[in-house]
A and B are shown apart, each in its own frame.
Chain A
């Protein structure tokens, strides 16, 4: 894509080809009028197409493959046509107003999505958290009082905090250690082993939970051989089988292991690329001065990649705070393994208690606000440096 000029003369361009640098007034020729009519017709036509495709999509007997193909074609071509048609119409406007309006055509749809799917629900959830289970009456802060006084919610909050303290730290330390060690191996070994550690990133939390079902599986003595890896090892070493997922409070740790297994690859890959960015001269100089490898690691590598460590850490914290699937599938929150995100879904989806569910959601959001502010500050600092 080096020579762009010829491609830029596009037949959908409203303005006739004009000498460069000259602000010629738009002339409305026959071609341009036809284009206007097409543009004006495109928008309602696409909307009608959307409507009928939607009816088809709701049709239960329709073929699923057809639905997908239709959705992709009508969805992408249609959305593209809407942008194009609206842009054409805007081009009819006097140049100054066209320039003022056009940016909002570009950002408008995205902002509408964000408004409807994130901003409006956030405000609404705040209101719902101050209402009763069926969202009929205002109850003040009763729901929040419930959260902080009833034991099962207290335990849920405690567990969530434990998850946030343990999982990101463990994923970071293992990831950093692995990235550092593997950096010394041959290229081929490095890339293969990194792929393996990274692989769980592609597996769903539900899938990972099933993987670990066969690690933690438990049979009481006399009920056949152990089919879970951990118990087989333990029994093989002469111990007694353990019902790992019912063993409080350690069962929380066993569930956390699943998420550590899933997330270590993420921190490893990011940190590995940061480690490779540490100036080699710096490291060589330290080595010549007689610094041990451990010193080089703690005094040079870690301080240099500190900002990346913080980014990875906060990213994983946010993910861990929202963890839901693993607990839902493995224990359903039994034996005091409940966490806030899973209780939230349970309250609103299973127990039909909108009030407490919304209060849990608000709690989740409020806890994340500091990270939100840190992100914004970091972003502003980056922009200032651009």
Chain B
């Protein structure tokens, strides 16, 4: 299936040629075909949604998005109405709610995890190994285990439906992975450096803030992106702890509600979906490198 065909060269594709490593690669046509077929399968559904989001509400119901592409220069069919309506009908509020949830829910776990990761990597204390193994184990505990008891406690404390309730929950659920990633990274920093700082009279707090944290920026960035995307895209935690009160809804809850209204809201769905996914897409494409680095560090260890 992947045999190289020497009769075909890539001279046709200038771009590839320029960026190819020195030894010219010869690639068979079936490889190109498979790759581009997959790329098409992966993009067409999203592109269709994007096209639909700019179409007239009546058109969205009456015909498929591909119909619009037959005459793309017929400007009468394009409109921004769906976006203005979606933003008016709760999505601008939901956008703010989602920001209000995901920014603190990203910052707090990073700080708490960084302190703990430093202790696991560079401090000696009884129970260190047992506690860290517990952290490794907790990484896979399903969120569902926590929902009922936490909601009961929150209700007793009057926390249900407040932002702190969601921030702290996201902190608790995100911590195991954060501690694990940060500890592995911090532990790989050279011990001699920390030793010499100690000899110079620095205490742990100073070493942590002035030495280890600045050196850990790459892994902190990776986890931050990961956690931000996770909290932004989360549906379950927000649904359970913030609730379905229209004032409190985050984007995913609002979008799921819209999707649940069926045909009646069909014309608003594409624009609403794009309002929901635009920020994560921007974050993702601009910071992809850090994100990938974090993923590989987390999964391919050893």
Contact = CB atoms under 8 A, between A and B. Distances in A.
Given A185-B35, A294-B1, A107 B49 contact: no
A312 B128 CA distance: 28
Interface in A313-361: 315, 318, 321-322, 324-325, 328-329, 332, 341, 344-345, 348-349, 354, 357-358, 360-361
A199 B42 CA distance: 9
B120 A107 contact: yes
A19 B248 CA distance: 58
A111 B66 CA distance: 53
A213 B269 contact: yes
A122 to B, nearest CB: 5
Interface residues of A, number: 144
A202 B141 contact: no
B149 A292 contact: no
Prevailing SS type, chain A contact patch? helix
B221 interface: no
Contacts of B285: 195, 199, 202
Interface residues of B, number: 141
Contact of B107 (A75, A344, A354): A75
B256 A376 contact: no
Contacts of B252: 204, 206-207, 325
A189 interface: yes
A292 B277 contact: no
Interface string B14-37: 011111110001010001101110
B223 interface: no
Interface in A199-257: 199-207, 209-215, 224-229, 232
Contact of B280 (A58, A120, A202, A225): A202
Interface string A99-126: 0101111110111011011111110110
Interface in B264-286: 269-270, 272-273, 276-277, 280-281, 283-285
B199 A21 contact: yes
A211 B38 CA distance: 17
Contact of A17 (B2, B201, B251): B201
Given A110-B175, A204-B280, A364-B142, A308 B148 contact: no
B96 interface: yes
Nearest to B4: A293
B149 A121 contact: yes
User: Interface centre among B18, B150, B172, B234, by most A CB within 10 Å?
Assistant: B172
Interface of A: 1, 4-5, 7-10, 12-15, 17-18, 20-21, 54, 57-58, 60, 64-65, 67-68, 71-72, 75-76, 79-80, 83-84, 87, 91, 100, 102-107, 109-111, 113-114, 116-122, 124-125, 128, 174, 177-178, 180-182, 184-189, 193, 195-207, 209-215, 224-229, 232, 261, 264, 266, 269-270, 273-274, 292-294, 297, 307-308, 311-312, 315, 318, 321-322, 324-325, 328-329, 332, 341, 344-345, 348-349, 354, 357-358, 360-362, 364-365, 368, 371-372, 375-376, 378-382, 385-386
